Chain A
Amino acid sequence: MTDIASQSDGPEGADVKDIKHRSLWIDVWQQFRTHKGAMVGVAVFVIICLGVIVGPFLYDVDPQYLNYKEKNKGISLSHPMGTDNLGRDMFAQVLAGGRTSLAVGVAAMSLSLTLGTLVGVMAGYFNRLDGLLMRFTDLFLSLPILPLLLVIIMLFRETLRSLFGPEMGIFILIVFVIGITSWMQTARIVRGEVLAIKQREFVLAARSIGTRPFRIIFRHTFPNVLSPIMVSATLGVAAAIITESALSFLGLGFPSDFPTWGRLLFDGVPFLNINPARVIWPGLAISLTVISVNFMGDGLRDALDPRIRGR
């Protein structure tokens, strides 16, 4: 905000021609930049993403290569994060695990966001569906999520494994179960926003010239509920990563030969006495990712809130 103030105070500010066009997203970005935590969060998250995506190409050690002579080693030049009890390189495993963890986080978030937005918009826009969909949401909110996730994974792991192969099967299962059990908050928020927007004059105007309901939803309502959806998207990634790691930590997530950060942590626990670093690295990776995403969400929420942005 200080940038804008100083611009308009300057000598050029008085000249009408030089006033820059201000769009919503430029305003949001400028407000976002004033949130220090959020900026640090973006930086850390970008570094983690780049490291995980590009890292395996630069550091081309096979994460599954067994080397018994080099087992349970500490930090060294050849193994920047040491090795595990089978002599596999931890750094390569953390990089590979991060790919899976982040992919699960983003995919599960997309699914839950789609479901939540769909239910929220439907419930908010169509009065007839509202009661039914909201009772359905309440019901889902009363389900014991963690026990149910564990149960579903236990029961359908083998079936999906045989259908899609060991790696894809567990990926689909975990993304699916996290997605269908975390859409409720988004649905509630979106419904509230849609209910408020539905009463505004521009929607009435659109309806009075004969715009169809679906066009009103996509053209007029949806862009206006985008900000809460974006905030839920950011926080959803963090929540999905935590849930996936918790499942893996309980031994019901990804298998050891296709590890995520949570699984690496779980596998490291029995070796706490010999090699505590094995637990620290993946745990640190999870924590840093989640913290940076949460800070980003916090900054985004402030930046998208017009009451805060105005000041």
Chain B
Amino acid sequence: MFKYAIRRLLFAIPTLLVISFIIFALLDLAPSDPTASLPLTIPEEVREQIKESLGLGKPFHIRYLKWLEQFMVNEPLNLIEQAWGIEIGNSADRLRVRSWATRAPVVDLIASRLPQTLIVIGVSYIVAILIAVPIGVISAYKQYSIFDQIGTFVSMLGFSVPTFFTGTVAIVIFSVVLGWLPSIYDTTLVVKDFDSFLDQIKQMIMPVMVLGLFNAAQLSRFMRSSMLDNLSQEYVRTARAKGMSEKIVILVHVLRNSMIPVVTVIALGLPATFAGAIITEQIFRINGVGQLLIGAIDGADIPTVQTVTFIFAILIVLFNLIADLLYGMLDPRIRYD
């Protein structure tokens, strides 16, 4: 298991390098000019100097390696310094990936946006799991019952209807017609007493539920089929034959075994949820990482786009790794050697 984990980890590094190269090359070789939006009165030589100051004077491979160094070495060092309050080497001179639009280090921009994204995605994912698992269990236990049929139909609707439609319909109903919930997520809200806490809950309900129900639809189908696979196994009959109560058979024996594939699906789905949050953040105007990306794309802010996209890629590779390892850890029948 340990050997397998090391092998998997070592394989993740070349994958990430290739992805980083694809992202960098795609953005770099594309026909776009960072000075194109500046006034036309700027003379050509000043334009060249601006490009130089943005780090565009060097050849392609140098810029790629510099970017890699800044992102892979310098930024983690900065994070370590901040976390432990120590100084490693000459930290003031260390080059950082800077946004073209704001001139601020991209990592700082992301750090300022991350809490909003994390709280909405985290809560929505937990809500999704809490909804999906019971529905999946009941649907499988009472297969072909009315509950199962309605559940299957609703989950089909749930993952067919895109979030940008359910989100806008929710805004129409709860913000425009009923006026119960705010349609815009206020990031400046500080939770300090019960009232502001209530406001925070109110503004989170819609994004969390829209994203959560979408994920729950898929998860509940997985949960159902996984439960069905296990319910017909011999060990269930044995447990019943031993005279165990139905509650223990289902909730202890079957549920625990059925959760193994579902846990990996949950881990694999998390990066996709992050990407899905780009849309959710756009609908509810949440000032998160997704909006940072969309804003950077609109403003042709290449370093920000490169970094945010690469972070999404890291998330995917990381959670694939976690899912693989979790599967091996949870299921003793899986042997990698």
Whole-angstrom distance between the alpha carbons of A250 and B291 in the complex? Answer: 10
Whether the pair B160, A238 counts as a contact (CB closer than 8 A) is yes
Interchain nearest-CB distance for A239 vs B (Å): 10
Give which listed residue, B165, B176, B300, contacts A273 with CB less than 8 A: B176
Whether the pair A147, B160 counts as a contact (CB closer than 8 A) is no
Q: A211 on the interface (CB 8 Å rule)?
A: no
Q: A269 on the interface (CB 8 Å rule)?
A: yes
CB neighbors of A among B312-332 (8 A): 312-313, 315-317, 320
Whether the pair A150, B161 counts as a contact (CB closer than 8 A) is no
Q: Would you give the 0/1 interface string for B192-223, flagging 1 where the beta carbon is closer than 8 Å to chain A?
A: 00000000000000000000000000000000
Q: A109 on the interface (CB 8 Å rule)?
A: no
Majority SS at the chain A contact face = helix
Give the interface segment out of B40-48, B133-141, B258-266, B274-282: B274-282
Within 8 Å CB of B26, what residues of A? 148, 151-152, 155
Whole-angstrom distance between the alpha carbons of A291 and B282 in the complex? Answer: 24
Within 8 Å CB of A150, what residues of B? 278, 293-294, 297
Interchain nearest-CB distance for B28 vs A (Å): 10
Residue of B nearest to A298 (CB): B156
CB neighbors of A among B284-313 (8 A): 293-294, 297-298, 300, 305, 308-309, 312-313
Whole-angstrom distance between the alpha carbons of A76 and B179 in the complex? Answer: 27
Whether the pair B156, A295 counts as a contact (CB closer than 8 A) is yes
A144 and B309 contact, Cβ closer than 8 Å, known pairs A150-B297, A250-B279, A273-B176: yes
Whether the pair A146, B160 counts as a contact (CB closer than 8 A) is no
Give the interface segment out of B64-72, B87-95, B167-175, B225-233: B167-175
Whether the pair B169, A280 counts as a contact (CB closer than 8 A) is yes
Within 8 Å CB of B172, what residues of A? 272, 276, 279-280
Within 8 Å CB of A246, what residues of B? 162, 164, 279
Count how many chain A residues have C-beta atoms less than 8 Å from C-beta atoms of the other chain: 44
Interchain nearest-CB distance for B167 vs A (Å): 10
Whether the pair B297, A142 counts as a contact (CB closer than 8 A) is no
Whole-angstrom distance between the alpha carbons of A161 and B23 in the complex? Answer: 23
Within 8 Å CB of A294, what residues of B? 156, 159-160
Whether the pair A144, B316 counts as a contact (CB closer than 8 A) is yes
Whole-angstrom distance between the alpha carbons of A250 and B162 in the complex? Answer: 13
Whole-angstrom distance between the alpha carbons of A245 and B279 in the complex? Answer: 11
Q: B1 on the interface (CB 8 Å rule)?
A: no
Majority SS at the chain B contact face = helix
Q: A286 on the interface (CB 8 Å rule)?
A: yes
Q: B249 on the interface (CB 8 Å rule)?
A: no
Whether the pair B27, A151 counts as a contact (CB closer than 8 A) is yes
Interchain nearest-CB distance for B19 vs A (Å): 6
Whether the pair A147, B18 counts as a contact (CB closer than 8 A) is no
Whether the pair A250, B278 counts as a contact (CB closer than 8 A) is yes
A265 and B164 contact, Cβ closer than 8 Å, known pairs A158-B31, A272-B171, A280-B172: yes
Q: A154 on the interface (CB 8 Å rule)?
A: yes
Q: Would you give the 0/1 interface string for A252-288, flagging 1 where the beta carbon is closer than 8 Å to chain B?
A: 1000000000100100110011001001100110110
Residue of A nearest to B279 (CB): A246
Whole-angstrom distance between the alpha carbons of A255 and B27 in the complex? Answer: 23
What would be 24 A-B contacts, judged by CB atoms less than 8 Å apart? A139-B18, A143-B19, A143-B316, A148-B309, A150-B278, A150-B297, A151-B297, A155-B31, A156-B30, A156-B31, A246-B279, A265-B164, A272-B168, A272-B183, A273-B176, A276-B172, A276-B176, A280-B169, A280-B172, A283-B165, A283-B169, A287-B160, A290-B161, A295-B156
Residues of B within 8 A of A (CB): 15, 18-19, 22-23, 26-27, 30-32, 153, 156-157, 159-162, 164-165, 168-169, 171-172, 176-177, 183, 271, 275-276, 278-279, 282, 293-294, 297-298, 300, 305, 308-309, 312-313, 315-317, 320
Residues of A within 8 A of B (CB): 37, 138-139, 142-148, 150-152, 154-156, 158-159, 238, 242, 245-246, 249-252, 262, 265, 268-269, 272-273, 276, 279-280, 283-284, 286-287, 290-291, 294-295, 298
Which 7 pairs from chain A and chain B are nearest by CB?
A144-B312, A155-B30, A283-B165, A291-B160, A146-B275, A276-B172, A147-B309
Q: Assuming A156-B30, A272-B183, A291-B156, what are 7 further A-B pairs, CB within 8 angstroms?
A: A142-B316, A147-B278, A155-B32, A246-B279, A276-B176, A280-B172, A291-B161
